[in-house]
């Protein structure tokens, strides 16, 4: 089988390896599609661990099942989530599944950018999903990223009737727009620097889409005017620029919550004015990844059409061109989701 091995964003090599055999409790999946995530473009995070096989948003057809697998059969169309929790540690007992130490250690093997992959027994047991017939393999690649969006919405405590500011409308931002509408938010104000993405934000249902003003104080005043409130109940920052984070911190109402969703470079930092947080009871929070409850809801929203997954996919690549897909994802040039398609 062909496997893509990542060294850096410009250097991805195709290797030939034997197709693995599923052991007890495992399944072997023939990959049909796999999404390219922004996390697959973060060289500072990936290169020190290279060579490695990426791809954590895969869908495919079950080719073989190991002994003891009863809930899935050969031929099943599935999406597999790459991280699974132990369900019994301190973090899991508190519902913080993404903080479980097993969660980060679990992976599909060798990864989604491979013609076949193995899902382990606990992957099969806890976070492997049959795709309904009308959900395509392509649409299924959006389950994991949408699950991350759902995880963030829950963590921010967003409720029906809230006013929400969203900063950044890449693929994740556009899924936030659709999910927040599903959640019943009362007012949604969206900020985006790029023209093309502002247009997309409107297409995906955002009513008010703004280019942020240079001066964040002036922006806060404009927002107050729009909301007839001192700021938004919840602010989601889905852009990795420090300027976006600084703006977001200005736009929360008293008692509001600001959620950091995108990951800046680890050397970047922000200034915080604790007195502002104190007197206004502002909560700052963030989310990493998504758990097995979020993936179930994500599949549901895609299956029912509350989130239109296929419309988010703008570029499709063969495995051999994975490096191009990574560079396209990183460039933000008129593209949303890039995926790798297999025959
Ligand atoms: Zn991802
Ligand atoms: Zn655990």
CB 108 within 8 A of CB 119: yes
Judged against a pLDDT cut of 90, whether residue 332 lies above it is answered with: no
pLDDT digits (tens, 9 = 90+) for 139-192: 999 999 999 999 999 999 999 999 999 999 999 999 999 999 999 999 999 999
Measured in Å, residue 142 CA sits from the centre of ligand 1 at 9
Nearest-angstrom CA–CA distance, 309 and 175: 8
pLDDT at 63 over 90: yes
Ligand 2 centroid to Cα of residue 290, in Å, is: 14
What is the C-alpha to C-alpha distance for residues 209 and 190, in angstroms, rounded to an integer?
A: 5
CA of 341 to the centre of ligand 2 (A): 33
| Contact status, residue 250 vs residue 220, Cβ threshold 8 Å | yes
Give the per-residue pLDDT at 283: 98
Give residue 333's pLDDT.
82
- The yes-or-no verdict on residue 263 having pLDDT over 90 is no
Residue 4 CA, ligand 2 centroid: distance in Å: 30
Q: CA 289, CA 293: separation in Å to the nearest integer?
A: 12
Residue 131's pLDDT band (cuts 50, 70, 90): very high
Region 264-282 average pLDDT? 94
Q: Give CA separation, 242 vs 156, 167, 219, 260, 285, in Å.
A: 20, 12, 16, 11, 16
Looking at the DSSP bridge assignments, the partners of residue 252 are: 232
Structure tokens that stand for 327 in this block: 């560079």
CA–centroid distance, residue 152 to ligand 1 (Å): 13
pLDDT digits (tens, 9 = 90+) for 284-322: 999 999 999 999 999 999 999 999 999 999 999 999 999
Residue 81: half-sphere exposure toward Cβ, Cα within 13 Å: 29
Rounded CA-CA distance 313/34 in Å is 11
Compute, in angstroms, the gap from residue 57 CA to the centroid of ligand 1. Answer: 6
Cα 5 to averaged position of ligand 2 atoms, centre (Å): 29
Overall average pLDDT of the 255-271 stretch: 94
Measured in angstroms, how far is the CA atom of residue 121 from the centroid of ligand 1? 22
pLDDT of residue 312: 97
The CA distance from 116 to 113, in Å, is 8
Question: Ligand 2 center to residue 90 CA distance, Å?
Answer: 7
Residues 6 or more apart in contact with residue 275 via CB below 8 angstroms: none
Ligand in nearest proximity to the CA of 122: 2
pLDDT in tens, 29-39: 999 999 999 99
- Kindly give the pairing relationship between strand 77-80 and strand 163-167: unpaired
Pick from 144, 219, 231: which is nearest to 187 by CA? 231
pLDDT digits (tens, 9 = 90+) for 207-249: 999 999 999 999 999 999 999 999 999 999 999 999 999 999 9
In the structure encoding, which two tokens stand for residue 87, read together? Answer: 């369900």
Q: How far is the CA of 268 from the centre of ligand 2 (A)?
A: 30
In order, the DSSP letters of 276-312 are HHHHHT-EEEE--S--HHHHHHHHHHHHHTSS-SGGG
CB 313 within 8 A of CB 336: yes
Residue 280 CA to residue 187 CA, distance in Å, equals 21
Is this model's pTM higher than 0.85 or not? yes
25-59 as b/e, with b when 16 or more CB fall inside 10 Å?
bbbbbbbbbbbbbbbbbbeeebeeeeeebbbbbbb
Q: Which is nearest to 285 in space by CA: 178, 154, 173?
A: 154
Measure the CA–CA gap between 191 and 138, rounded to whole angstroms. 28
Over residues 40-55, the mean pLDDT reads: 95
Average pLDDT over residues 97-109: 97
Ligand nearest to the CA of 298: 1
- Secondary structure string (H, E, C) spanning 55-98: CCCEEEEEEEECCCCCCCCCCCEEEECCCCCCCCCHHHHCCCHH
């Amino acid at each position: 089988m062909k496997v893509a091995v990542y060294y850096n964003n410009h250097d991805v090599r195709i290797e030939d390896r034997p197709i693995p055999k599923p052991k007890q409790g495992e399944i072997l999946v023939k990959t049909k599609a796999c999404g390219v995530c922004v996390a697959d473009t973060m060289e500072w995070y990936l290169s020190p661990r290279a060579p490695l096989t990426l791809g954590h948003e895969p869908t495919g057809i079950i080719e073989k099942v190991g002994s003891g697998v009863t809930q899935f059969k050969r031929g099943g169309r599935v999406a597999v989530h790459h991280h699974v929790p132990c369900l019994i540690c301190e973090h899991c007992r508190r519902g913080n599944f993404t903080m479980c130490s097993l969660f980060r250690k679990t992976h599909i093997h060798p990864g989604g950018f491979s013609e076949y992959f193995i899902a382990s027994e606990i992957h099969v047991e806890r976070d492997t999903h049959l795709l309904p017939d009308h959900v395509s393999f392509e649409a299924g690649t959006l389950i994991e990223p949408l699950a991350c969006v759902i995880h963030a919405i829950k963590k921010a405590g967003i409720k029906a009737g809230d006013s929400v500011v969203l900063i950044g409308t890449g693929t994740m931002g556009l899924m936030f727009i659709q999910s927040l509408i599903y959640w019943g938010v009362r007012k949604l104000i969206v900020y985006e620097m790029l023209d093309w993405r502002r247009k997309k934000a409107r297409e995906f249902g955002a009513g008010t889409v703004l280019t942020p003003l240079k001066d964040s104080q002036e922006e806060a005043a404009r927002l107050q005017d729009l909301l007839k409130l001192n700021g938004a109940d919840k602010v989601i920052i889905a852009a990795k620029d420090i300027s976006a984070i600084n703006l977001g911190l200005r736009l929360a109402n008293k008692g509001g919550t600001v959620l950091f969703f995108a990951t800046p470079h680890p050397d970047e930092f922000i200034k915080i004015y604790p007195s502002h947080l104190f007197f206004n009871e502002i909560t700052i929070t963030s989310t990493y990844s998504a758990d097995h409850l979020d993936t179930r809801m994500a599949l549901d929203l895609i299956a029912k059409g509350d989130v239109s997954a296929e419309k988010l996919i703008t570029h499709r690549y063969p495995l051999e061109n994975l490096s191009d897909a990574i560079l396209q994802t990183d460039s933000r040039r008129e593209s949303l989701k890039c995926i790798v398609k297999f025959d």
